[in-house]
Chains A and B, each alone.
Chain A
Amino acid sequence: MLKRKRKDLGGIPTASMSDVAFLLLVFFLSTTKFDVKKGLGLVLPPASANADKKVKLNDDNITKVWINAEGEITIIFGDNEETITMSELEAKIKQIITENPDMVISLKTDRKSKYKNMVHALDKLQAAGAEKISLSTN
C-alpha cells in the first residue's frame, strides 16, 4: 500500500514574535524620559499693600548678600562688609547662622545681573541651612 503524502501545513512562525515584541518594549522603555520637575522652593512674602503688619527687623538680625551686575558677591552683616566668591558663600552663611539662628538673609541682586548668579547664591544659602531668605533688587 502506498503511503499518502502528508500535505505541508502552511503556517506563520510565531516563535520569534515575542522577540519582536520585547524589542519594541525595550526600545520604548529606554527612550522614554520622564519630565520630573525639580527646583529650589521659596515662599514669597505677601504684597506690601496687603500686609497687615510689618515686622520691623533689628539690623543685627539681617545679613545682606549683594550680587552686582558682574556677579560679584558682597556680604554685609553688622559693620562688616566683605567681597567673597560664590564658593566661600556657603561656609560664611553657615557660620553666621550658627552664631544667630534668627538671622534673615536678604539676597539683593542687581537688575542687570544674570539669573544664574541669583540661583547659585540661593542654592548656597539653602545648602547652608538658611530658612529666612528674602529676595530683592535695586
Chain B
Amino acid sequence: MAKIKKAKKPETTIPTASMSDIAFLLLLFFMVSTVFVKEKGLNVTMPQADEIQKIPRDQSATIYVDRNGNISIDDLIVSIPDVKWVMQKKLIENFNVISCFRTDENTNYGIMSDILNQLREAETLRVSFEAKLKR
C-alpha cells in the first residue's frame, strides 16, 4: 500500500525580526530631531496667570531677571543701560522680535519699569511677560 503524505499546513507567523529596526528607527528619529535649549539663563520662579498665550519661539528674545535684579540676555549679564543696544541688535536681526520677560515673581517692579523704558527707546515694542498657567 502506497503511503499518501499529508500536505503540510503553511505556518502563519508574523515576522518580528524587523520590529527592532522599526523601533530603533523611531528612537533615532526622536534623538536626532530633538533640539535642546542652549540658554542657561538665571534661576527664576515665574508668576502664575490665566490669560496666557503661546509665544512663537523663532520671534522671541528672552530677558531673564532674577530676584536680585540681575539681567541676563543670551546668557550675558547686562546692566540696565545696556539693554537698549542689545535689544536694538535683536531688532535688526528680526524686525518682529518679541521680548519675553522671565522675571522672578519677587523682583521689585522698579527694575522691570527701567527695562521697559529701555525697550521703548530701543523701539522693541512687543513684549510678553512669561507666566505659568494657574492651576
Contacts of A35 in B (CB 8 A): 37
Evaluate whether A115 and B107 lie within 8 angstroms (CB atoms) in the complex, with A25-B23, A28-B27, A45-B120 already known: yes
A92 at the A/B interface (Cβ < 8 Å)?
Answer: no
- B12 nearest CB across to chain A (Å): 17
Q: How many residues of B contact A (CB 8 A)?
A: 54
Contact of A116 with B26 in the complex, beta carbons under 8 Å: no
- Chain A positions within 8 Å of B64 at CB level: none
Q: Which of A20, A47, A49, A123 contacts B51 (CB 8 A)?
A: A123
Residue among A18, A39, A47 with max Cβ neighbours from chain B (10 Å): A39
The residues in A between 1 and 44 inclusive whose CB is less than 8 angstroms from any CB of B are: 14-15, 17-18, 20-22, 24-25, 28-29, 32, 35-44
Give the distance to chain A from B72, nearest Cβ to Cβ, in Å. Answer: 16
CB distance from A31 to the nearest CB of B (A): 11
* Contact between chains at B23 and A46 (CB < 8 Å): no
B75 within 8 A of A: no
The answer to whether A120 and B47 have CB atoms under 8 Å apart is yes
Q: How many residues on the A side are at the interface (Cβ–Cβ under 8 A)?
A: 46
Bound together, the chains give a CA A126 to CA B47 distance in angstroms of 16
Task: Report whether B112 and A38 are in contact in the complex, using a CB–CB cutoff of 8 Å.
Answer: no
Name 14 extra pairs, CB < 8 A, besides A41-B53, A46-B123.
A20-B20, A25-B23, A37-B60, A37-B62, A37-B128, A38-B133, A39-B130, A42-B127, A44-B116, A49-B121, A50-B123, A115-B107, A116-B106, A135-B116
